[in-house]
Amino acid sequence: MRLLFTTFQRTGSASATVRAFQDQELLFPRHVTTGPRKGEVVWGPLLCSHVLHTLHNPRYAGAFVYGRHQIRPTATGHEFRKLPRDEWTVLMRDVHPGYISWDEYEANQQRLLANAWAFGEDRRTGPPREGPALLQGLVICGRCGERMTVRYHHWRNRLIPEYACKRERVQREQAVCQVIRGTALDAAVGELLVTSITPLSLETTLAIQLEVEAPAAEADRLRRQHVEHARHEAEVAQHRFLRVHPDNRLVADALEAEWNARLRQLAEAQETYERQRAAAQHVLDAEQRAAILHLANDVPQLWRDPRTPDRERKRLARLLLEDVTLLKTDHVTAHVRFKGGATQTLHLPLPVPIGLLRKTDPAIVAEIDRLLEEHTEGEIGALLAARDVRTGGGVAFARLRVREVRLAYKLRPRYERLRARGYLTRHEMAKLLDVGPETVKIWRRQGLLHGEAADDRGNYLYSRDQPKPRKHAWKLRRLARRANHIGSTGRGAV
């Protein structure tokens, strides 16, 4: 049980607590309340419902409660309703040892409520996730006022966050309101947070808090007096009940009812006092003030440390930020609202589109255009790779990269360039020379005809200004090469 509470305090959500138990292969006890095994304690996997039931139950914080739920008969059966805390019949704190304190129980309830906001109509903060989006759940659209969601894109083995306002698209099939890339925005807001936490700003905050503590202390004294008065009334009612004679049943019942009413009033007063005390400003001693001022040097180092998880940065940001309103025009305007009401406005240039980031240098495009006059795409890729020329995306050139550049910039292919210069295909050349197409291919291989490579698949084009080779000249040339080879080696027919 203690591991469950500490894991929830560390991870911040019930689902993350379940995953932590699954990763460690830990089982969780459960008390069977129905069936043939009623009353037994069984061990099994931890479920999210188990975590929520445990966190919402005040008995684990050392409190005694009664009347948290209400069952009403209806025409179709029974209605089960969960009552708010101010309608509970009995709430008595610190009546037995607990796994956590009452302050920790209240903090867990606030965290669960914040997590539930992520699924509400307003889609408030929600628990910080593992993604790199710093402003997850804090971003508000500057056009329609709705909460913006987060989506990610993969680029070079990195997750690039984007903040999108698409409530109208989901609800009414309208266009997306605005989409803003979050890389530069998160960096700017993070730098603003780091620079905001300075010794001077913290000293100013503590000085303002000193002025607020005086009236807060007076209000706390008045609320405490109200609790003491309710406790005195409850003790008086208890004393009256204990002094009545047991034979006076009617008097005893009336005094017992009065005692129970005083106890409920005491519990309500105590709860109101604790709630208002938690919401009020806390008084800091000298040691705590020194620790807060020391944070000005620790936070920047912690923030910039690459080993700090993204989730911890989000938690730190949520301690300081209330929300961030974004408006996209010819630039991005970010209105940052801090806890307490202070605001800052950031003006950021629009992110450069990915197409422009990966755009090939115009000089390289011009060089490819020039080389297409004399070389194929594969030959051009080899030439550029030998020069260590790279594309706009930083990739070395090859045949397919040259083809992508040619198609993207609509450069004429080498085949069309040769045709425009009057070059003929193999069949056209064969018809001109009055021979077969295979003969033209053989003459080119033997060097009797000159052909220009039109692509990297073995297709050639031929200039029409070439003399027709003598018939069987390629056979005579082969015999001449064989005779020269025999003469050089001195070996002939036997």
Return the pLDDT at 433.
86
Confidence of residue 122 (pLDDT cuts 50, 70, 90): very low
In whole numbers, what is the pLDDT of the chain averaged over residues? Answer: 79
234 and 270 Cβ atoms separated by less than 8 Å: no
What average pLDDT does the segment 146-162 reach?
A: 83
Whether 272 and 223 have beta carbons less than 8 Å apart is answered as yes
pLDDT at 65 over 70: yes
Q: According to the model, what pLDDT value does residue 333 have?
A: 92
Secondary structure class of 43 (helix, strand, coil): strand
Please say if the pLDDT value at position 278 is more than 60: yes
Q: Is the pLDDT of residue 293 over 80?
A: no
Mean pLDDT of 167-182: 73
Model pLDDT, residue 154: 81
Of 35-39, 400-404, 424-428, 470-474, where does mean pLDDT reach its minimum? Answer: 470-474
pLDDT score, position 477: 57
Range among 57-61, 121-125, 136-140, 348-352 rated most confident = 57-61
Please check whether residue 30 is in contact with residue 49, taking contact to mean a CB–CB distance below 8 angstroms.
no
280: which residues sit within 8 A by CB, 6+ positions away? 216, 219, 220
Q: Which CATH number fits domain 417-494: 1.10.10, 1.10.3470, 3.10.28, 3.40.50?
A: 1.10.10
Report which of residues 459 and 175 the model is more confident about. 459
Confidence of residue 120 (pLDDT cuts 50, 70, 90): very low
Q: Determine the average pLDDT of the residues in 406-410.
A: 88
Give the model's confidence band at 417: pLDDT under 50 very low, under 70 low, under 90 confident, else very high: very high
Mean pLDDT of 268-296: 64
* Region of poorest pLDDT, from 132-136, 247-251, 432-436: 247-251
Q: Which of 134-138, 196-200, 380-384 has the highest mean pLDDT?
A: 380-384
DSSP string, 201-231: HHHHHHHHHHHHHHHHHHHHHHHHHHHHHHH
Would you place residue 198 in the very low, low, confident or very high pLDDT band (cuts 50, 70, 90)?
A: low
**pLDDT computed for residue 346 by the predictor:** 92
214 or 190: which carries more pLDDT confidence? 190
Please report, for the chain, the start and end positions of each structural domain, with discontinuous segments joined by +: 1-62+97-121, 128-351, 353-411, 417-494
pLDDT above 90 covers a percentage of the chain that reads: 13
The more confident residue out of 121 and 451 is 451
**pLDDT beyond 50 at 212:** no
CB 174 within 8 A of CB 168: yes
Give which of 115, 156, 164 is closest to 139, Cα–Cα: 164
pLDDT at 494: 36
pLDDT exceeds cutoff 70 at 143? yes
Q: Name the range with the highest mean pLDDT among 34-48, 105-119, 462-476.
A: 34-48
Q: Which of 370, 421, 243 is nearest to 379 (CA)?
A: 370
Angle (CA) 136-138-140 rounded to 5° is 115
Whole-number pLDDT of residue 487: 52
Q: What is the rounded (10 degree) CA torsion for 254, 255, 257, 263?
A: 170
Please state, for a pLDDT cut of 70, what percent of the chain lies above it: 79
* End-to-end CA separation in angstroms for the chain: 102
- Does the pLDDT value for residue 473 go beyond 60? no
**What confidence tier does 335 reach under pLDDT thresholds 50, 70, 90?**
very high
Q: Which pLDDT value is given to residue 371?
A: 92
Average pLDDT over residues 392-412: 86
Q: What is the value of pTM for the model shown?
A: 0.43
Query: Does the pLDDT value for residue 39 go beyond 60?
Result: yes
Per-residue pLDDT at 121? 47
Q: Say what the pLDDT of residue 171 is.
A: 55
Question: DSSP code of 305?
Answer: -
